[in-house]
Chain A
Amino acid sequence: MNFKIAIKLALKGIMGNKMRTFLTMLGIIIGVSAVIILVSVVQGTTESVTENIESMGTNLLSVMIRGRGAETYLTYDATLSLADKYGVAGVAPVASGNVTAKFDTKTMDVTLEGVDENYQTVRNYTVQSGRFIMPLDVEYRQKVILLGTEVVKELFGSQNPIDKNVQLNGLNFKVIGILEEKGSTMGGNNDEKILMPITTAQRFLKSAGIRQIYVQAESPELVNTVYAQVEKYLLNKFKNDEDAYRIFNQTEMLSTINEVTRNMALMLGGIAAISLLVGGIGIMNIMLITVTERTREIGIRKAIGARRRDILIQFLIESAVISGLGGIIGIIVGLAGNKVLNLLAGMNTKTTISIIILSLAFSLVVGMFFGIYPANKASKLKPVDALRYE
């Protein structure tokens, strides 16, 4: 029997009992849409976390200095010597503190970071308007600052802050630029801060020491080499005291996060897949009932020349059509669910073609697999017995 007719007949059989077919499909629909929504949410979350981390700069090591005994920091010059190590693309030392910023009548408590010109590339900052800190600013301890977008919003509203003077703890600093909005990362809000030349900051904060350094490697492969060198340097500096510093490896963190979320996607997808399996059992149940109900039909078909294979294919196609249609509806429901989550809960969802194909294929396989037993039962009916069935 040819395939097109078989599908047409199957559709006819299915449409003959719409409510039952829909209820049977429901298991598959829920299963497929659950797989798609859960995996999309996990993938979307992974993506935003990764993006977030990468927005801090790529191939980054972040070094925190706690110090040992009287030596509680590195000097600016000492940190610059790290730049000469093999595989290092850039070093950005940071002198930080908290200040109160004031413009006109408005005040705000912000984080102040003293940085040099390397900070922009190492930390992957872009300037929205104005300019970044230049080597000359650092050399001459210029009293200039860059503002994060939150600071601009809070202090200036809709005014243009460039070339205006902002008071930090009572001292005047000239605004030379505005940073591009970055959003929050684990290190806090990146838009609620003020940058100034590192030398100016050391004097302003009355502390010569550097407690935070960002080191960027030239490539992901070199991150570990750079890590080893930085560690060796620090061990040497702090007389083999491992507690004197802490190095965060961003690449390592990323791969850990990726691994965790991948496992999560697998686990959630797996749980959803179980509901697909349950849907498959529902199909088997209904197909068995259908076979019994249609015993006479099977007898008639056999009497006029249907072979076992014809009957088998007919029922297999019916269950495949039910699960396939259920799968397609499930995909539509899943994609719609993603949209709803995105719009209402602001969740980042990411649906890949592969998960759509995978869940559709899985639902088809489930339908076929659970269709085998009822179809086989139907095909084995003896024409005489089937014809006699009332």
Chain B
Amino acid sequence: MLEIKNVTKVYNTGAIQFQALKGVSLKVEKGEFVAIIGPSGSGKSTFMNILGCLDVPTAGEYYFEGIEVSNYTEDQLAGIRNKKIGFIFQQFNLLPKLNAFENVELPLIYRGMNVKERKERVLQVLEQVGLSDWAHHKPSEMSGGQQQRVAIARALAGDPPLILADEPTGNLDSKSGTEVLEILKELNKNGRTILLITHDMKVAGSAQRIISIQDGLIVE
């Protein structure tokens, strides 16, 4: 599914060069549930950005489903993100002016799906996360747990093989957090690959495999 070979990432902040990743290699098989843990400043976020095709590595290779994407253009990466990856963020990252339905619909609009198919698909995933009755509510009218479930629905709308969850429980109470983790496990059972980024060992426990990252290097 994913293969990363000796990836480095260097940030140029004015005079100082900061090496966030110092040669990381990782292979994730299809259908795996992998947790990546590490303290803040460990390079965990940088790693996630590269895995999520939000950023490109300074050096090294990245194969996504066997295709090298490390030198893709910005728009090509946008295509990968749209079709292959579903994002779940700590901050939910829903658009506040759109209601749940429209938020979930957005990736499908960018994909160019027609109205009828879109509507069908959005209602289907909203039902899957148990929010059918909340389709026309704005995020501000929902609880944190509900907002995160809308975000999950949005991630699922495009039916991507990979779900990338960045601290998905970080802003939730423990009950909602458990619910979200249950949904992730369920998704994994249905054959989706899950990458879970967290600093919380308890959360990471849901995964089958835990990868620890420290100072820009993987320490298994």
Contact = CB atoms under 8 A, between A and B. Distances in A.
Q: In this complex, which of A1, A297, A300 has the most chain B Cβ atoms within 10 angstroms of its Cβ?
A: A300
Interface string A299-314: 1111111111110000
A7 interface: no
B112 A307 contact: no
B54 A305 contact: no
A13 interface: yes
Nearest to B74: A308
A300 B107 contact: no
B49 A305 contact: no
Contacts of B107: 304-305
Contact of A1 (B54, B98, B110): B110
A297 B89 CA distance: 14
Interface in A1-54: 1-2, 5, 12-13, 16
Interface string B131-175: 000000000000000000000001000100000000000000000
Between A296, A297, A303, A384, the greatest number of chain B beta carbons within 10 A of the residue's beta carbon is seen for A303
Given A13-B97, A297-B95, A300-B93, A307 B75 contact: yes
B97 A308 contact: no
Contacts of A309: 75
B109 interface: yes
Nearest to B94: A300
Nearest to B114: A2
A305 B111 contact: yes
A172 to B, nearest CB: 89
Given A301-B106, A303-B87, A304-B81, A2 B112 contact: yes
B95 A2 contact: no
A332 interface: no
A306 B55 CA distance: 15
A296 B75 CA distance: 18
B106 A304 contact: yes
**Range of interface residues on B (Cβ < 8 Å):** 20 to 34
A296 B95 CA distance: 9
B79 interface: yes
Contacts of B93: 296, 299-300, 303, 387
A57 to B, nearest CB: 66
A304 B93 CA distance: 10
Nearest to A379: B74
A306 B54 contact: no
A135 to B, nearest CB: 82
Contact of A310 (B87, B94, B110): B110
A300 B82 CA distance: 12
Contacts of B79: 305, 307
B26 interface: no
B109 A5 contact: yes
Interface in A265-323: 296-297, 299-310
B83 interface: yes
B97 A303 contact: no
Contact of A387 (B54, B78, B110, B112): B54
B110 A384 contact: no
B31 to A, nearest CB: 23
Interface string B41-63: 00000000100101100000000
A308 B95 contact: no
A324 interface: no
A132 to B, nearest CB: 74
A12 B97 CA distance: 8
Nearest to A380: B74
A326 interface: no
Interface in B86-126: 87, 89, 93-95, 97-98, 106-107, 109-112
A383 interface: yes
Contact of B49 (A12, A16, A310, A384): A384
A31 B182 CA distance: 59
Contacts of B75: 307-309
A390 B22 CA distance: 28
Contacts of A304: 81-82, 87, 106-107, 110, 154
B74 A305 contact: no
A305 B95 contact: no
A1 B110 CA distance: 5
Nearest to B46: A384
B201 to A, nearest CB: 25
A5 B105 CA distance: 11
A299 B93 CA distance: 9
B7 to A, nearest CB: 15
B54 A384 contact: yes
B115 to A, nearest CB: 9
A5 B93 CA distance: 21
Contacts of B49: 384
B78 A307 contact: yes
8 contacts: A1-B109, A1-B112, A299-B93, A304-B81, A305-B82, A308-B74, A382-B74, A383-B54
Interface of B: 49, 52, 54-55, 74-75, 78-79, 81-83, 87, 89, 93-95, 97-98, 106-107, 109-112, 154, 158
Given A16-B97, A387-B54, 7 more contacts: A13-B97, A303-B81, A304-B82, A306-B78, A307-B110, A384-B49, A384-B54
Q: Top 10 A-B pairs ranked by shortest CB distance?
A: A305-B82, A304-B107, A305-B110, A307-B75, A307-B78, A300-B93, A383-B54, A384-B55, A384-B54, A305-B81
